[in-house]
Structure formats: structure tokens, C-alpha cells
Chain A
């Protein structure tokens, strides 16, 4: 029997505290979550030419977060987005990721910057164990071997190129081929994908060029392409390079069947290419804005972002949106007390999550790559849009 009421109260409150702590292990173990907020971090290139993808992806994250917050947040907690600029410099990406994890103490990560940057931060992410969904630059190294806490949404560059070249080869049998690629890891991936189809389908490649990253004048390259007699051309540039190539071909008076890859599949490119860009083929795993899904996404986004942000929307906004939707859904399924372990387990259970901007997303036990379905599109200069062709 306890004789002192004060001692009894102290004992009771200690017991209560112990019970409460036992019931809320996540709150003590995992950062980035309070009773009212959940912090999600991201590092993107917000300055320099690659800002085109970084800014757009961050807008996609913001749209998904704004949408979730408008619906009451994640089980009552509002999502706060912490965004850092890396200027597409790998050292700054590592610094930025460390900062958002260690200083801002975010609960989960989205993004992250380009392919090289994502690869470079992988050890940091693995060591931290923080739930991460990568959406900007899907490359095989990010999911092979699978890392427990890192999930990748998209499709591999190599698969994308294989899909595009296969399509163009089937559509243009017996034609002569030309290819030009950038002298970096992106270019190597494009070339590897191309070469695998060339070998399988025994394509006749009459021109194979390689340009230095940053090259702006393609007059001699395109003249060589013309002289080679190439009838089907895979333009392995990104944005400005593809524009320069197409305008050069227009100047030279030739118009081969041309394919471009998704990093350059943004609508303003068509305006700059003008008539030279009409009919070019592209491959992508996100919906074109000219389609019903694309229009619905833009309608949804308009009230959720500023006018300037709305103008910055491109395909990367869709990839960012899809990643944030999947992450938010996983945290939500963890209920009132989400933890890193639960979020990772729920991300793994992601099955056919519809985002409206790409095919439904799934992961699985040991599967950290969503392997999105690809589609071929064709440019229509009259409407400055890409339209699906299959």
C-alpha cells in the first residue's frame, strides 16, 4: 500500500510516460516528424541549364504536397518541403543531401538531381537509411543492386532507347541509320541501347558521331550526316543540342526520320525547332500534355502553384509528382505514427498506385525500380505538342 499520494502520482506518471514511449517508438527514433508536421527533403539543380529539370521536378513535388496538404495532410500532419540547390555540381549534391538529413532532419527524401549526382549520394542515403524515392534521372546503378531504403520511379535510359530504335527500325525497314551522342555517361547509355538493337536487327549504320558536352554548333556534324545518306537519325543530344541539330539539317535541306530521347522531350523545344521539328519521334514513360491525362494534370496543377511555377511545368514535373504521390501514400498507410521502417515497408508494398501521369506504379520485395511502361510520341509543330502514336 502506498502511503504518500505524491509518490503515487510520480509512480503513475512515470508508468504513463513509459507506456507512451513504448507505444511511440518512431517519434523517438526517426527525425522529421512532429505532431503537426512531416518534413520531406529534396536536392535539385535550381540554377544553371539543368535547372530546366530540377525546377520542374521540384514543382511536381510541390503539386503533390499541396494536393495532400489541401486534403488535410498525412493523417493530420501537414507536409513541409525542404528544397536545396546543388547547381548540378556533384559535391554540392552530397553536401545538400547531408544538410537536409543531418541539419533539417527530414523524414524522407525525393529527387535527387541528375543521374551522376544520384549515384554519388547513394552511400549517404544508404548509410542514413532514410526512405528515398528517386524520380529525376533513372539509371540502373540506382536499383541494381537494390538498396533497402531507395526506390526509383521511371524507366532506364537504355530501355528507352531500345524501345525507340526498335519502333523506328520496324517502321523504316532497310533504311540507313545515323547516330550522334554526347561524350558522357548519358551518351554512353544511349549508344549502348542503340548498339544492342543494331546488333539484333542488323541495322545499317552509316554515320556515328560523338560530340563534346556543351557543343553548340553542329554544322560539320550534320553535314557529315547528310553526306552519309542517313535516312533515319537518332539525335542523342539533350535540349539545345537537338534544336541546333534539327535547325542545321533544315539549313542543309535534308529531313531524315528523327528520334529523340525523353530528357529533351519538352514542348518549348518544338517552338524553337520550328518546321524542322515537325514529325520527330520521342519515347517517354510520362503522359504527353496534349493528351487527356496531361490536360487533367495541368488543370489540377494550376490552382496549386504560382503562375511562374505553372510556366515551369514540363515532363519532369510529372515524374516529380508521381514520386511524391507514391511516397505520401506510403507514409499515409503507416497510420498515425509513421516510422522510416514502416515507410520503407509500405513503399515496398506499393502496388498499382495510379498517379494519372504515367502507368500505375509498383514495387515489391527486393524490387526497387518501378519499370514504367514506355510509349512513342510524335511532334506536332502546329499545336507545339507531342502526341502518342501507339
Chain B
């Protein structure tokens, strides 16, 4: 039983990180209809900025958190304004290719700005080990699960009750009608990019806290993308839950079937789910796939 619980808790912890990044994918897709293939790289950049703040400005957790969030907002806004806005109205394929190009540039930027060595993010907490009924778990892993759950609730409330949230849903549903109703699609897109950058950046910072920081971190995007597909590309909350499902599935497969199955288990799961629900568990039926 303890073996199963240990697998479940570890699966939830890594799944929460996938979930946060998957939510980043979904926020952009829901608001702009675009799949951002640079999501993993944006996550990595925010984590590196957090590490830079912790080593050069202050290792205080609040300073690092605020600095990283601000940096993620700026990153999202700059990408939207400089790279994505000029692509408005262009074919979806071209826009997706731009995000792929952006991913390569951001990935290379790590070596140009920082280095290829692995680094540890130290903010004075999150690395300690707590024992819950004999099950070892890092405090950072508990924190990321709690953060994901809080963010899921906050985002649900944001889309349900806030004016901006409703505007984002309106633009996603029909941007021309939304425009006629006085909603600026450009502002909504900018907000979506900033929000996506922050949400996935939080996942990146937690990953750096629990594991480490290295130029290979962008691969988290590849792991989180199936979570988005599983939860529903247009379902922000579903993507977060999809991350948890992928994390648990991976760990159970790795723990009970064999270590080699861990990396393919999540993908096997989405194949099965998509055969039954092609739009994802929580997605809407009319998704235009890229």
C-alpha cells in the first residue's frame, strides 16, 4: 500500500508541474486559437530568470516569486507584441511555425545568456523532505500540488465571474462578434500570452525547486502537451487535471510495469482517450486541430 501511495504522491507532484504548463498551452489556445510550441521554452526562461534573481538579487522566496512573475508577464507581452501580433490574420500554419522558430531561439538563448551547467534553485525552502505517514515527499512537491489546485479554483472563478475572463471567452468563441461588442482582441491576446507565461512559469520554477535547472528543461513542454490534449486543448481547467492524470499514469506504469514504460504511458493513455473523446476529456466538440 505504501508503495502505491508513494507512486501516487510522486505522480501528483510531477503531474502538477505538467498541469501548470498544460494550462499555459490551453490559455493561449482558448484565447487565440493557436498552439504555442514555445511553451516549454517560455517555462524554462522564467525558471532561469528566477534562478538569476535568487543568485544575484535575493534568495528570499517572495522576492524571487514576485520577480519571476513580473519577468514572465514581460516575456509573454513581448512575445505577443513583437512576434505574434504581426502574424494576426495570417494562416494558422504560418503562425504555428513562428512559435516553433521562437522555441529554437529561446532554447539557444539559455546557452548565450546563462550556460549549459545544471543549477539548483535555492530559495531557502521547498527542498526539505517531509514524511507523511512514512512516505517521503519534498516540501516543494507539496507546494506545487497545492498551487495547482489554488490556481485551478482561481482560473475557474476568473473565467466565470470576471469581466476580462468573460471577454476572453467571447474572443475565443467569436472574435469578430466580440470586436463588435467593444472587446479588443489584441488586448485579450496580450493578456492571454502574459497569463500563459506566468502559469507555466510557475510550473517551471517549482520544477527547478524540486529537481534542477538545465537547458534540457524545455522538454517539460513536450510532456505537458499530451496533458493539454488529454484534458482538452480549449479547457484550461481540464488541462490542469490532465497533467495530474498523466503524472499519475506515468508513475503507476513505471512502478508496476517497468521503468521503460514510464515515458510512453502518458502517450498511450491519450491515444486511448482520444479514440473515445477526440476533443479531450473536458474539451468542447468543435476544436480545429493543427
Contacts and interface: CB of A to CB of B under 8 A. Distances in A.
B93 interface: no
B251 A220 contact: yes
B49 to A, nearest CB: 19
Nearest to A217: B14
Interface in B190-210: 207
Interface stretch (A30-38, A45-53, A130-138, A144-152): A45-53
Contact of B107 (A46, A48, A223): A48
A223 B7 contact: yes
Contact of A211 (B6, B217, B259): B259
Nearest to B13: A219
In this complex, the interface size class of chain B, counting residues with CB under 8 Å from chain A, is 35 or more
A221 B117 contact: no
Contacts of A253: 136
Contact of A219 (B108, B215, B251, B253): B251
A215 interface: yes
Interface string B226-266: 00000000000000000000000011111100111011100
A49 B116 CA distance: 5
Contacts of B117: 52, 266, 268, 312
B61 interface: no
Q: Which of B11, B117, B211 has the most A CB atoms < 10 Å from its CB? A: B117
A239 B118 contact: yes
Interface in A320-374: none
Q: Which of A51, A220, A240, A268 has the most B CB atoms < 10 Å from its CB? A: A220
Interface string B123-142: 00000010000001110000
A220 B219 contact: no
Interface string A161-205: 000000000000000000010010000000000000000000000
A127 interface: no
Interface stretch (A14-22, A244-252, A278-286, A290-298): A244-252
A212 interface: yes
A221 B118 contact: no
A183 B108 CA distance: 25
A220 B215 contact: no
Nearest to B120: A272
A269 interface: yes
Interface in B103-123: 107-108, 111-112, 115-120
Contact of A312 (B112, B115, B129, B138): B115
B116 A50 contact: yes
A253 B138 CA distance: 12
B111 A46 contact: yes
A212 B107 CA distance: 21
A221 B254 contact: yes
Interface SS, B side: helix
Contact of A216 (B10, B108, B219): B219
Interface string B1-14: 00100110011011
A382 B14 CA distance: 30
A7 B255 CA distance: 92
A266 B214 CA distance: 14
A220 B111 contact: no
Contacts of B252: 220
B116 A52 contact: yes
B139 to A, nearest CB: 11
Contacts of B13: 219
Given A49-B216, A240-B216, A220 B10 contact: yes
B21 interface: no
Contacts of B11: 219-220
A266 B116 CA distance: 12
B116 A240 contact: no
Interface string A51-94: 11001000000000000000000000000000000000000000
Given A220-B7, A220-B254, A221-B259, A48 B116 contact: yes
A299 interface: no
Given A47-B111, A49-B116, A252-B6, 11 more contacts: A48-B116, A210-B260, A211-B259, A216-B220, A217-B250, A219-B13, A220-B262, A224-B255, A224-B259, A247-B211, A253-B136
3 smallest CB-CB distances across A and B, nearest first, come from A220-B254, A219-B10, A51-B116
21 contacts: A48-B107, A51-B116, A52-B116, A55-B111, A183-B260, A214-B219, A216-B216, A217-B211, A219-B11, A219-B14, A223-B6, A223-B10, A224-B259, A240-B211, A240-B214, A252-B6, A252-B136, A266-B117, A269-B118, A271-B120, A272-B120
